[in-house]
Amino acid sequence: MPFWLSASVRIRCNFIFFSTISHLNMSLPSTNAKGEFVKADGEFTKWITADGSSGFKSERDRYHLYISYACPFASRCVVGRKLKGLEDVISMTSVDYIRLDPNGWTFTDQRPKCTLDPLFNAKYLRDIYLKANPNEQKNLDLYPKLLRGKIDEVNEWVTPNVTQAVYKAGFATTQEAYNNGVKILFENLDRVEDMLSKNRYLTGDTFTEADVRLFNTLVRFDTVYVGHFKCNKKRVMDYPNMWGYTREVYQMKGMADTVDQQHIQEHYQVSHRHINPNGIVAIGPELDFNAPHGRDNMVAK
């Protein structure tokens, strides 16, 4: 029987690292006394290794991945699975992207690209977690040894100040918390824009794990974070280098298959009733991710 793991944070050269999407705390997003959103740590953080030394050996059909296309953190794994050619090695199920049930993520076959649970016929994703004990690869290296220092350095500030900052702004419950979150977010988006004006990718001329992380935030930014999370000081479209970069990554072979804007927009705008009480889904914006990106001849400076 396959071993099940849910959502992901990173995919690297010789191993895959899985973390979790929120599943047991089904109340409103957690905030501290200042009204600032506080993201919970992942509970399942096991490594899958070629030799099995981690307790989880890399084997075909042993693992099954549960994801939501709406979630930027889970989508990192969808991207890595696609780019590393693991679709015939690790099977995958997408949960319902509308999340209104108090028990959390549910399984359905009544929405596009969503399916019922094929392993346990579970109704809720939380049932899979409660069953779990907390206890072949393509020649694509997303975490090359020579760039690991740079990748880790970029991830150290992009993760809290961009990837998580959109949630700090969107889930803030005080004006001060929102103001602080937005300030940090756009200061660091400006930093990203500056980097991408000099480099094709975040660490230079090589597409890495750091780009996988950032892309899954940028591809959602104009469609949901600008309006739904009030991160509207600028759009990604207003950053010429970042917008070209987002289109380039989207146009890489297989990447578009990992993005589903219907799942993304309807999940955020229908599920977050504390932000959007009537669940009305915005009709736009119209974005052309397939327009020429103009970054083909860019060389790191």
Q: Which residues are catalytic?
A: 71, 167
* SS3 letters across the chain: CCEEEECEEEECCCEEEECCCCCCCCCCCCECCCCCECCCCCCCCCEEECCCCCCCECCCCCEEEEECCCCHHHHHHHHHHHHCCCCCCCEEEECCCCCCCCCCCECCCCCCCCCCCCCCCCCEHHHHHHHCCCCCCCCCCCCCHHHHHHHHHHHHHHHHHHHCHHHHHHCCCCHHHHHHHHHHHHHHHHHHHHHHHHCCECCECCCCHHHHHHHHHHHHHHHHHCCCCCCCCCCHHHCHHHHHHHHHHHHCCCCHHHCCHHHHHHHHHHHCCCCCCCCCCCCCCCCCCCCCCCCCCCCCC
